[in-house]
Amino acid sequence: MKKICLFAFLFLFLLAFPRESHAASSSSHLQLDGKDISVGKGVQIQEVKGNVLVPLRLIVEELGYSVNWESKTGTITIHKQNLNLSLQVNNPIASVNDHQMGLAVAPLLREGTTYVPLRFVSEQTGIDVAWNNELKTVFLTTPPTSSDNSESTHDHSATPAVSNPKESARTAINQISFANHQLTIAVNGKATPKVTTLTHADRIVVDIPSSTFSEEFLASQSFDSSGQGSFPVTEDPDVSQVRYSMFSTTPASVRIVVDLNHSTPFHVLNADDGKVVIALDQETEEPSTTEDVIPTIPVVPAISSDGHAQGIDVSHYNGNIDWQQVAAAGKTFAFIKATEGTKYQDNQFLINVQGARDANILVGAYHFLNATTADGARQEAANFARAIDSAGGRLDLPPVMDYENNPKGLTPAQISEVAHAFLDEMERLTGRQPIVYTGNVFASKFDPTFSMYKLWVARYSTTQKPTAVPAWNNWWAWQYSSTGSVPGIQGQVDLDEYNGTIDELRASLAGELD
C-alpha cells in the first residue's frame, strides 16, 4: 500500500488546483528536485479554502505517468506499473488500486486542467513536500531510490515556512488540545516524541523530531511575533496553559509545553495511531476501598452485565476501517467525525458512514466546535448540516456538538452563548435535537439550561462512571477510553457505552419518528 500511496499522491497533488476561491500569487512556483517546473507555463500556486493547490499535469509530465481524461464523466485515470488511480471531478472520493480514500477537496476542472489539494499528496506520498508561504513556492523532493528496491515510506504535510526546501518534515501536527486531564497531539505520520520535565516553573516539554505544523493547524491558530502560540487551560487544577512553537527548522522539530501549577506525574500513550497522548496521573474523584488511582492504561471492559450497548467514535485518524469486523466484535453504534470549524470536512466521513451502514451499525456524526462567537457557531452548524446532507441526510443517531475545551478563554456566559447558538441552528437545519459531547470536567461549564439535551460524556475510567454536573444528573452515552482496541481498526480507538441496551437505543430512535 505504501508504493500505491507514494505515486498516487504525486498525481493527486498535481490534480489539485481550483482557481475559483482566492487570488493566486503573481510570483508563485512549483519546484521538483530543485528544478522550477512552473516557469513559462503560466502556473500560479493557489490557496483555496485553507488548501494549497497545484495542477496535476506538470508533475505528470515530469515523472512520465500515463494519464487518461474522460470528458463525458469527468474521470481522470493514472497508470504506472502497479498503480491504477482514478479520480472524478466534484467527487471527494478517489480510488487507488480499487481502494477508496477521501479527499479534503474534490477535484475541480478549471480551463481544461484538473486540480487536487496539496494536503492529500503530502499525507500519502513518499515524496517530500513543503510549502513556503513567504516565497509562494511548493517544493517537491523525490526520495532516493534504495539499492534493494524497498518500499517508500509515507511522507506528510509540511509547515508553510521551511528554511530549507529539502528539509521537509515527515510528520504534520494537525491539532493540539487539552481535555480530560490529558494533552492530545493529533499527527499525520509516525511520531517519536521526546518528553522531559522541567522545574521552576514546573512544566512538561514534548519535542517531536522531524515534524512541523500542518496547513490546517496554521490556518486555525494564531502565533505571536516570536512564533509561539498558546491557549489557556481553565478547567484543570494541575495545568495553566499549553504553548507550542517550531523549536527548530533545521532539522524541523515542534515543541509543545504544558505549564503545570505544580509537579504532576504523567505517562505517554503512543500507538502510532495518529495521536500522541500525555496523560496526567490523578487520584479518582470518588476513591474506592480497593482502587485509589485510575489505571495508567485503562483496561477495556467487556460488555457490561446490564447489557449496555457498546460503540466507538472515529475520524480519519483511525485510517481505513473494516466495519464488518467492528460489527462482529459487538459494536452496535458509531459516531463518525464529520466536520470542524466553518469549512473543514473529514475526508473519511462519507467512507466511514457507508461502511458502518453496510455493517448494520447505527451511525451518527459529530462536529468539533471551534467557534468563539454565536455567529461563528451558526456558521459551523451550517458546515455540519451540509456534511450530513452529503451523506444522504438524516443519520440513525442525532447530530453531536463536540465542545470539550476552551483555548480562547471564554467566560461561562460566552461558552453558553456559543453552545446554544450552535445547538439551536443545528436543530433548525436538521429538525433533530442535537446531543452534547464534552469531558467530565468541562461538563461543569454548562449551566442548567442545557439539561434538555442528552449528554455524551468522556471520562476515561473503567471503575467509575461519570459524575453529576449542574446541567445533567445522568448520561446518555459514556466515552470510557481513548486507548481501546477493536478488531478491524489499526491502533487505538475511542470506546463508548450507551446508557441502555441496544433494543432500548433503537426504540428511542424510533420514538423520534412517532
Phi, psi of 420 (to 5 degrees): -65, -40
- Which amino acid would we find at residue 15? L
Please name the residue that has the C-alpha cell 513536500. Answer: 129
Which residues participate in catalysis according to the annotation? 313, 402, 404
What are the contacts of 492-495 at 24+ separation with CB within 8 A? 492/269, 492/271, 492/273, 492/275, 493/273, 493/312, 493/314, 493/318, 494/312, 494/313, 494/314, 495/300, 495/310, 495/311, 495/312
Inter-CA distances, 188 with 120, 299, 464, Å: 11, 26, 33
- Which amino acid would we find at residue 141? T
Q: Is 473 helix (H, G, I), strand (E, B) or coil?
A: coil
**Bridge partners, 454 (sequence order):** 435
Sheet holding 128-132, edge to edge: 35-36, 29-32, 137-141, 128-132
Which secondary-structure segment (H or E) carries 255?
A: strand 252-260
82 burial class (0-12, 13-18, 19+ CB within 10 angstroms)?
A: exposed
Whether 113 and 16 have beta carbons less than 8 Å apart is answered as no
Q: What's the grid cell of residue 257?
A: 509545553
Whether 342 and 379 have beta carbons less than 8 Å apart is answered as yes
Cα distance between residue 357 and residue 155, in whole Å: 32
Sheet holding 66-70, edge to edge: 66-70, 75-80, 83-88, 93-96, 99-102
Which secondary-structure segment (H or E) carries 506?
A: helix 502-513
DSSP label at residue 165: T
